């Protein structure tokens, strides 16, 4: 985690910061509103991968899982979100406050700040860090260390041999991305494919 000595209280130090006008949900809904895209919920990739026909597959899941864990399992960190409603206009003065120590949770996010939502009530999310438990919760972040990096490099070598599969995202590239970074990565990849 970077440490900044300044009066800038923003989480990121970029000159320009923002989110899509209708939030990330709106971005995803618009992307999926295409007759060539079929969404299958509650479907494990391993159960359908042999029946999917494609020219290029963009895989965003855990790279070790894609290759059947043949070089070992990578470590991931998970999160538990506890949403709490409050009968007040605002719970906190900004969208997100981080709590790096002395609390069980790592941050509180009040989403209505992001889109300037007007309401006399609010809901906040408390984020609790968790170990990733396959089948029990979702992986969110890679855990970079020498052992994991060595395992990832083996998977990456295998990934580079596949001309019809692109591995993109935190889990597939075993790399931390902020939202602006991963959207830029996706757009660049799209331009390269076109």
DSSP labels, the chain: -----SS---SS--SS----TTHHHHHHHHHH-STT----SS--HHHHTTT---SSEEE-S-HHHHTTTTT-PPPEEEEEEEEEEESSS-SSSSSEEE--SSSSSSEEE-GGGTTT---S-EEEEEEEEEE--TTTS---EE--SHHHHHHHHHHHHHHHT-SSEEE-SHHHHT----HHHHHHHHHHHHHHH-
149 pLDDT more than 70: yes
How does DSSP assign 21-44, residue by residue?
TTHHHHHHHHHH-STT----SS--
Q: Are residues 93 and 125 in the same domain?
A: yes
Neighbours of 109 (CB within 10 A): 20
Which of the two residues, 75 and 113, has the higher pLDDT score? 75
| Per-residue confidence (pLDDT) for residue 49, from 0 to 100 | 83
In a domain, 12, yes or no: no
In a domain, 2, yes or no: no
In a domain, 123, yes or no: yes
Where does the pLDDT of residue 38 fall: very low under 50, low under 70, confident under 90, or very high at 90 and above? confident
| Per-residue confidence (pLDDT) for residue 189, from 0 to 100 | 92
Q: Among 137, 160, 182, where does a domain finish?
A: 137
Dist CA 79 CA 136 (whole Å): 11
Q: Are residues 129 and 152 in the same domain?
A: no
In a domain, 173, yes or no: yes
Dist CA 67 CA 157 (whole Å): 11
In a domain, 86, yes or no: yes
Q: Which structure tokens are listed for 167?
A: 């591995």
What is the extent of the structural domain holding 34? 18-73+143-194
Q: Are residues 80 and 67 in the same domain?
A: no
Q: Are residues 167 and 116 in the same domain?
A: no
Averaged pLDDT score across all residues of the chain: 90
CA nearest to 125, candidates 176, 177, 178, 86: 86
Q: Are residues 99 and 69 in the same domain?
A: no
User: Residue 193's domain is classified under what CATH number?
Assistant: 3.40.50.720
pLDDT digits (tens, 9 = 90+) for 14-29: 787 778 888 888 888 9
Neighbours of 34 (CB within 10 A): 8
Q: Among 118, 137, 156, where does a domain finish?
A: 137
Q: Are residues 56 and 151 in the same domain?
A: yes
Question: Could you give the number of structural domains in the chain?
Answer: 2
Dist CA 52 CA 48 (whole Å): 6
Q: Are residues 96 and 69 in the same domain?
A: no
Q: Which structure tokens are listed for 187?
A: 């757009």
Q: Among 113, 137, 161, where does a domain finish?
A: 137
pLDDT average, residue stretch 121-129: 96
């Amino acid at each position: 985690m970077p440490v900044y000595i300044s009066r800038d209280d923003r989480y990121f130090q970029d000159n320009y910061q923002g989110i899509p006008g209708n939030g990330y949900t709106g971005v995803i809904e618009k992307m999926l509103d295409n007759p060539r895209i079929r969404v299958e919920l509650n479907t494990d990739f391993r159960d359908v991968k042999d029946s999917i026909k494609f020219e290029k597959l963009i895989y965003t899941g855990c790279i070790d899982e894609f290759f059947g864990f043949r070089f070992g399992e990578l470590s991931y960190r998970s999160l538990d979100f506890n949403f709490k409603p409050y009968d007040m206009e605002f719970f906190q003065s900004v969208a997100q406050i981080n709590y790096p120590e002395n609390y069980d949770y790592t941050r509180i996010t009040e989403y209505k700040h992001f889109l300037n939502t007007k309401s006399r009530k609010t809901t906040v999310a408390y984020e609790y860090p968790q170990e990733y438990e396959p089948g029990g919760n979702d992986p969110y972040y890679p855990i970079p260390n020498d052992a994991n990096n060595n395992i990832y490099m083996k998977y990456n070598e295998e990934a580079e041999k596949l001309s019809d599969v692109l591995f993109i995202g935190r889990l597939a590239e075993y790399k931390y991305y902020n939202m602006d970074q991963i959207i830029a990565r996706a757009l660049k990849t799209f331009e390269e494919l076109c």
